[in-house]
């Protein structure tokens, strides 16, 4: 039993995928602790936002713990575990958009639309990837449906309801923060549909063979997950600290005689 445990926990020095699974787990666990402890340093208005950031990185850390062991044991891609992680964390990430613009008049309907779009993106993406038969028709069908959810979130963040509410807010920090998160959706999240299209049967794959091996995709996804999830949280943390500093800043007595 002891030898089996040691084999499971062994991180090959020449395997960057295993390395990034382990590093991603530690980085997101540390980020979760940081965001949750920092809730005490911001005003009540921003505590929920930092709680969500801590939940995102905390949930991801738990899944990366299991994905790390799964990969080291089987050397196979943990597709189901990865999509379970995304199905929990990505809807929470779009909740951050709603929380940022809530003071500008965002209604609950915006929250529901963003979450629904995230679920559509992930569920259809999972069907396309986990149940693929290697044919391009299957990949294109479910990938196209998944892309509809992604495009709605992207549109809302850049030109739609989220962007309009951010422009209407009086907070410069919120406006800059929403734009920063929109860049994450445009650039950071783009790796996921690109990876989907590069798998066997994908649009980018020659004759359905795929241009990236599954392990190559694991490496890209691991790096992207850490950057996107922790980056989202750091943007929200920066806004919360900036706005809290404004609220608690002491009055100026320079004019007192």
What does the chain look like in DSSP terms, one character per residue? -HHHHHHHH---TT-HHHHHHHHHHHHHHHHHHHHHHHGGGS-HHHHHHHHHHHHHHHHHHHHHHHHHHHHHHH-S--HHHHHHHHHHHHHHHHHHHHHHHGGGT--HHHHHHHHHHHHHHHHHHHHHHHT--S-HHHHHHHHHHHHHHHHHHHHHHHTSHHHHHHHHSS-HHHHHHHHHHHHIIIIITTHHHHHHHHSTTSTTSGGGS-SS-HHHHHHHHHHHHHHHHHHHHHHHHHHHHHHHHHHHPPPP-TT--
Please say whether the beta carbons of 101 and 108 come within 8 A: no
- Report which of residues 254 and 81 the model is more confident about: 81
**pLDDT at residue 10 in the model:** 67
**In the predicted model, is pLDDT for residue 78 greater than 80?**
yes
**Domains, the chain, ordered by start:** 2-242 (1.20.1070.10)
Give the closest residue to 96 by CA, choosing from 137, 35, 11.
35
Structure token pair of residue 120 = 């559509």
Neighbours of 221 (CB within 10 A): 20
**pLDDT at residue 209 in the model:** 54
Instruction: Give per-residue pLDDT as tens, 203-251.
Output: 665 555 555 666 778 888 999 999 999 999 999 999 999 998 866 544 4
Structure token pair of residue 152 = 């709605």
**In the predicted model, is pLDDT for residue 255 greater than 50?**
no
**pLDDT at residue 256 in the model:** 42
* Dihedral of the alpha carbons of 171, 173, 178, 179, in degrees to the nearest 10: 110
**pLDDT at residue 168 in the model:** 92
Segment 130-156 shows an average pLDDT of: 87
Segment 61-83 shows an average pLDDT of: 93
**In the predicted model, is pLDDT for residue 116 greater than 80?**
yes
Grade residue 129 by pLDDT with cuts at 50, 70 and 90.
confident
Angle ∠(145,135,21) on CA atoms, nearest 5: 75
Instruction: Please tell me the pTM assigned to this model.
Output: 0.87
Segment 38-65 shows an average pLDDT of: 96
């Amino acid at each position: 039993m002891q030898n089996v445990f040691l084999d499971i926990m062994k991180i090959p020095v020449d395997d960057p995928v295993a390395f990034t699974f382990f590093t991603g787990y530690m980085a997101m666990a540390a980020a979760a602790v940081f965001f949750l402890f920092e809730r005490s340093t911001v005003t009540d208005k921003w505590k929920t936002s930092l709680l969500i950031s801590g939940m995102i990185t905390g949930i991801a850390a738990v899944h990366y713990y299991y994905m790390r062991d799964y990969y080291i044991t089987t050397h196979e891609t943990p597709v189901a575990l990865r999509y379970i992680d995304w199905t929990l964390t990505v809807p929470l990430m779009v909740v951050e958009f709603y929380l940022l613009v809530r003071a500008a008049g965002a209604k609950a309907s915006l929250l529901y639309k963003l979450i629904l779009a995230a679920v559509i993106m992930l569920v259809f993406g999972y069907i396309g990837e986990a149940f693929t038969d290697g044919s391009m028709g299957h990949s294109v069908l479910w990938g196209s449906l998944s892309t509809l959810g992604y495009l709605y979130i992207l549109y809302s963040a850049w030109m739609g309801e989220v962007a309009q509410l951010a422009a209407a807010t009086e907070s410069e920090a919120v406006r800059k923060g929403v734009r920063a998160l929109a860049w994450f959706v445009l650039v950071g999240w783009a790796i996921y549909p690109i990876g989907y299209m590069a798998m066997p049967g994908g649009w980018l794959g020659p004759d359905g063979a795929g241009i990236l091996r599954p392990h190559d995709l694991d490496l890209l996804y691991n790096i992207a997950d850490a950057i996107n999830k922790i980056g989202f949280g750091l943007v929200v943390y920066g806004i919360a600290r900036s706005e809290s500093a404004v609220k608690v800043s002491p009055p100026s007595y320079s004019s007192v005689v």
